[in-house]
Amino acid sequence: MNTLLLEPHNGVLHITLNRPECRNAMSLEMVNELRAVLAALDSQVRAVVISGAGGHFCAGADVKDLVSAGNQLQALNRAFGTLLQEVEAVAQVVIVVLQGAVLGGGFGLACVSDIAIADHQAQFGLPETSLGLLPAQIAPFVVKRIGLTQARRLALTAARFDGLEAQRLGLVHFAECDPQALAERLDEVLGQVLRCAPGANARTKALLLASVEQPLGPLLDQAAQWFAEAVTSAEGIEGTQAFVQKRKPGWCK
């Protein structure tokens, strides 16, 4: 990997966006490498943590790529949208740790995470319209995350705001005051995730995402089928036996 650092540990894959010289701007190479990593995930990985090197998460699209794309601009932009779809849909729990610049594409990546932890001084924003551009691939995910009214305000003003405001908007779940508190919160969240059965988490995530778009009746029918399968699955049997026997289930780390 040229643009990412990968560190697997105890069922967690830590992915660091590693282009600190440009505040981890999202190049096509980084998009392709992230997609390749996601495609290679297996059941041994239960959570994915994405952060950025050099004190920044991601400052958005790499302008050099835009300038050199020529007639491939549409395909380049759509590739990032595909990445966001794939991050949102992976079976694993996706956690983002947000520091410094969380702009444009970085903002979009935060919006497709399951759990977002931010430094209170991180700088969020959708600067595209101030550059004469559109948050084209990001917009639907921003609306899904924080609602249409707030998305309109942020996209049409290119306003910047900090981690505390991001928490108020529901963009992030936690805003921490220093790096140590950020690390401690990540450890706490990972401990909670690893107490949950991985198969049950994957099905629950799929169910929650489907609830946004699918009609209620068919969704509840599907949920009932998945529930019945879960009760009789190896995880379900182990979980209920562990509860009765007052012990931790086998998936707990």
The tens digit of pLDDT for each residue in 59-96 reads 998 888 877 777 788 888 899 999 999 999 999 999 99
**pLDDT given for residue 72 in this prediction:** 84
* Contact between residue 69 and residue 132 where contact means Cβ atoms under 8 Å apart: no
Q: Which amino acid is at 228?
A: A
For all residues of the chain together, what is the average pLDDT?
95
Rounded mean pLDDT of 148-161? 98
Please state, in angstroms and rounded to a whole number, the distance separating the CA atoms of residues 42 and 45: 6
- pTM (global) more than 0.85: yes
The tens digit of pLDDT for each residue in 177-221 reads 999 999 999 999 999 999 999 999 999 999 999 999 899 999 999
The tens digit of pLDDT for each residue in 121-133 reads 999 999 999 999 9
